[in-house]
Structure 1
Amino acid sequence: MDFAGLLPDFGNVLYTVVAFVVALSIIVTVHEFGHYIVGRWSGIRAEVFSIGFGPKLFSRVDRRGTRWQVAAIPLGGYVKFLGDANAASAGADDATMSALTADERRHTMHGAPLWARAVTVVAGPVFNFILSVLIFAGIFLWVGTATDQPVIGSMVELPQGAGDLRAGDRILAVEGHDTPDYPALVAAVDTLPSAPVMHYLVEREGAALEVDGPALYPARLAGVGPGTAAMSAGLKSGDVILDIDGTPLAAFADLQAAVKAAEGRAMALTVWRPGMPVNDSFSVTLAPKSTDIPTADGGFETRWLIGATGSFSFEPLTRPTGIIEAVTRGGQEVSFIVKSSLSGLWHMVTGAISSCNLRGAIGIAETSAAAASSGAQNFIWFIAVLSTAVGFLNLFPIPVLDGGHLVFHAWEALTGKPPSDRVLNVLMAIGVALVLTLMLFGLKNDLFCP
């Protein structure tokens, strides 16, 4: 066996595992810390705070008596409260509970008031949402917000250069179409014919000038999505697609049209990458994937995609993003992810879109590695998306998940007593079966879906 030949594959697998573990560990830590800190504020004592399962690697006990530990299997975590029979807080340890005084029982998950138990349970998902909002807001603060008027901050790198356009130019019109703001500039992209060179009217140092520049929306990849055909083919952000199957491309619309026309057929792309000499290029072959994407009305549209986004031929001039604005936009991102997830699940259940859209641990790990390899900002953004997904999933009304515990608490609020131990054990078994079925279904999709 050629062990040397296995090293590259081993390196890729290791990178995938490390990226997945890092992302998952951050999300789980925040989730469990939500349970822990709100439980503590509610008077419920935590005995163990664990990142990972299985044998502990190292631990320490704080002054409150909580053991903080890192365990050997980094695929989750838990908080075990005083009186819990297990890490899932699924039942009480009768021996422990019977040995406690009435005052001490108040500090257990099973002896605390209903409100304290409910807020402790819901805190995990809520902290996941808070983490996502803060990450999104931080990124918006970091990158800034485009000014209302289309002003060039800098030109992107293109093989034909920037033409006569310069940083600081305010774009007044493109090919005769007035562009007082970005909505008008976007509308111009949809109406202008494809051309490698366009005529611009710009304001420069207080004077209006007519200049030539590159296509407003060139066939350049501004971003490449994790796990997509473009990333699998080795394409990167900044790559310019010169032609497909020998047909030259003048604008991103030409790339979109060629991908749509291919209908999944393999295509030969000629690519120029920033840093290469103007006349150099390289070739890649890829096949577009049929992809279900969410629409503005809450539905889904199936399209052939390579998984890349475009952009203007310039980077917009930005202004600092306000804190309130950033947090608001972060909340909007979380809301969009939750709504899209609900819509996606409904469309899968009804058969409107493929069930292959549901991925398992392998797919998530591969996506985390792809996000990490495309840059720190993309990886951090992915953590925020995954944190939202984890918070959303944990609110499902399935026993063993936080949502299932909330259902039990709601039952207790309505009837005045919790479900019996017998009923609770049966429901927990059903919950475990449902979660395992969901995990196996996702794993099957990872292995067999295109």
Structure 2
Amino acid sequence: MADIAAAIVPGVGNFFLGTLVPFVFVLLVVVFVHEMGHYLAGRLCGIGVQAFSIGFGPEIWGYTAKNGTRWRIAAIPLGGYVKFVGDVSATSAAPGEEDLEALTEEERRIAFHTQPLWKRAVTVFAGPFANFVLGAAVFAAMFAIYGQYVYQPTVAEVRPGSPAEQAGIQPGDTFVSIDGVKVESFADVQRIVTGRAGDPLEIVLDRNGQEIRTVATPEVSEQQTALGQTVKIGLIGVVTNEAVGKRDRIEYSPVQAVVAGIQETGSIIARTGQFMKRFVVGREDRCQLGGPVKIADMAGRAADLGFEWLVQLVALLSVGIGILNLVPIPPLDGGHLMLYAAEAIARRPIPPQVTEAVYRVGMLIVLAFMGFVFWNDLFAC
């Protein structure tokens, strides 16, 4: 099929195999894991499931299981949903009195919105949690298979005129901590500094056995990633090399790999949270946020580099989707959890008119954000 398309329209075959297929693979894995988290938690809590859908829009394939769940693949693969018994839409919007009265006694017993608060909260949180588990599992597998190459946090060179030189950092200095965070490798230095452009950082160094304290403010620099993306990061102007930093390969046992995978996932969550806070106050480049077009481009470039790169992109995107879904805005999972928290504090259900108003505002915010990232993808960045 790809060969025929390429013969008709030059470049179509390369786009299909090189970009579209990797993009759909990455997205479907992440979406499937997220929705499976909701599904499994819901079933364990005794909640009935009407539909498990990968994608939106018209169904292109599906079958109905013995338990009544309709498993379907839809035409637009930009997401998915689990529709529980009693839901009035794919976003699990609460049913009105008339909708509840229309349910049979058996349906009421297994309907999502008639369940105790804790069951609903667990079911909703299970989706993002599954994304975090997928990310940790992929990172753990990478650590177990390939290990990790690290440099000791010792400075080999200081760029003239850089923030590091201005702070008095010298070749041979070893980083001990940055902004109170312990540093164990040069990669730790990079992780901390790159996301803190413009922030004064308190740095503790070891210089010939003597503790040196100084402050350096990372400057913004444009860099090209391995996946071809231009990003703006913070740099202080120090580098290391094998002669000074002593490049080592760390090998992990299965247990150590799992621990390292969880730590890596936690680090990504922390750095993403830091980015979001800085973005809200206007201290991050808006072009760092992208939508489907940017993800598709990254997926194609990752596939070109090798399957392990594509799998790592799945892990990164999975963690990112998990974080995004926990933002407290309906109809995202975080929005549901916010309403459940309000219900727990009030010790009574939130009035339907309040819930409906919150959902409408939340949907407008989500649609505006989607429009923003699409605009970034296609025109602005």
* C-alpha separation in 1, matches of 2:225 and 2:57: 39
Larger radius of gyration: 1
The amino acid of 1:307's aligned partner reads T
Are the structure 2 counterparts of residues 310 and 36 from structure 1 closer, same or farther at C-alpha, using a change threshold of 3 Å? Answer: farther
Displacement after TM superposition at 1:145 (Å): 4.5
Q: 1:337 and 2:268 equivalent?
A: yes
The amino acid of 2:192's aligned partner reads T
Partner of 2:65: 62
Moved more, 353-362 or 119-128: 353-362
CA contact (8 A) 1:395 1:404 kept: yes
**Partner secondary structure for residue 43 of structure 1:** coil
Are the structure 2 counterparts of residues 310 and 319 from structure 1 closer, same or farther at C-alpha, using a change threshold of 3 Å? Answer: closer
Q: 1:81 and 2:81 equivalent?
A: no
Q: TM-score, normalised by structure 1?
A: 0.63
Displacement after TM superposition at 1:297 (Å): 8.7
* C-alpha separation in 2, matches of 1:106 and 1:367: 45
Gaps of 5+ in 1: 151-181, 192-252, 258-292
* C-alpha separation in 1, matches of 2:96 and 2:79: 23
Moved more, 111-120 or 62-71: 62-71
Are the structure 2 counterparts of residues 49 and 310 from structure 1 closer, same or farther at C-alpha, using a change threshold of 3 Å? Answer: farther
Partner of 1:198: none
Partner of 2:223: 305
Partner of 1:380: 311
Q: What is the RMSD of the two structures over their aligned residues, measured on CA atoms?
A: 2.9
Query: Identity across aligned pairs (percent)?
Result: 38
* C-alpha separation in 1, matches of 2:10 and 2:240: 35
Partner of 1:127: 130
* C-alpha separation in 2, matches of 1:430 and 1:402: 15
* C-alpha separation in 2, matches of 1:79 and 1:30: 12
Partner of 1:419: 350
The amino acid of 1:324's aligned partner reads V
1:154-193 matches, within 5 Å, as: 183=152, 187=154, 190=156
1:80-119 matches, within 5 Å, as: 80-92=83-95, 94=97, 97-100=100-103, 104-119=107-122
* C-alpha separation in 2, matches of 1:432 and 1:294: 34
1:200-349 matches, within 5 Å, as: 295-296=192-193, 299-300=196-197, 301=218, 302-307=220-225, 320-349=251-280
**Partner secondary structure for residue 51 of structure 1:** strand
Q: 1:405 and 2:371 equivalent?
A: no
Are the structure 2 counterparts of residues 369 and 416 from structure 1 closer, same or farther at C-alpha, using a change threshold of 3 Å? Answer: same
CA contact (8 A) 1:51 1:77 kept: yes
Would you tell me which structure has more helix in proportion to its own residues?
2
Are the structure 2 counterparts of residues 59 and 95 from structure 1 closer, same or farther at C-alpha, using a change threshold of 3 Å? Answer: farther
CA contact (8 A) 2:143 2:252 kept: yes
* C-alpha separation in 2, matches of 1:425 and 1:433: 12
CA contact (8 A) 2:86 2:103 kept: no
Partner of 2:299: 368
1:195-249 alpha-carbon deviations (Å, 9 max, x no partner): xxxxxxxxxxxxxxxxxxxxxxxxxxxxxxxxxxxxxxxxxxxxxxxxxxxxxxx
Displacement after TM superposition at 1:310 (Å): 10
Are the structure 2 counterparts of residues 310 and 19 from structure 1 closer, same or farther at C-alpha, using a change threshold of 3 Å? Answer: farther
CA contact (8 A) 2:195 2:275 kept: no
How many residues are treated as equivalent by the alignment? 312
Q: Equivalent of 1:392, from 302, 323, 331?
A: 323
Displacement after TM superposition at 1:391 (Å): 0.3
1:315-360 alpha-carbon deviations (Å, 9 max, x no partner): 9785752122111111122112112212212222222232221112
* C-alpha separation in 1, matches of 2:301 and 2:58: 30
* C-alpha separation in 1, matches of 2:268 and 2:250: 26
Partner of 1:448: 379
Q: TM-score, normalised by structure 2?
A: 0.74
* C-alpha separation in 1, matches of 2:65 and 2:224: 51
* C-alpha separation in 2, matches of 1:426 and 1:376: 45
Partner of 2:30: 27
CA contact (8 A) 2:18 2:303 kept: no
CA contact (8 A) 1:105 1:112 kept: no
**Partner secondary structure for residue 75 of structure 2:** strand
Are the structure 2 counterparts of residues 52 and 307 from structure 1 closer, same or farther at C-alpha, using a change threshold of 3 Å? Answer: closer
* C-alpha separation in 2, matches of 1:311 and 1:141: 25
Displacement after TM superposition at 1:6 (Å): 4.7
CA contact (8 A) 1:408 1:418 kept: no
Are the structure 2 counterparts of residues 190 and 428 from structure 1 closer, same or farther at C-alpha, using a change threshold of 3 Å? Answer: same
The amino acid of 1:133's aligned partner reads A
CA contact (8 A) 2:156 2:241 kept: no
1:136-151 matches, within 5 Å, as: 136-145=139-148
Moved more, 112-121 or 342-351: 342-351
* C-alpha separation in 2, matches of 1:36 and 1:44: 9
The amino acid of 1:394's aligned partner reads N
**Partner secondary structure for residue 71 of structure 2:** strand
* C-alpha separation in 2, matches of 1:95 and 1:143: 58
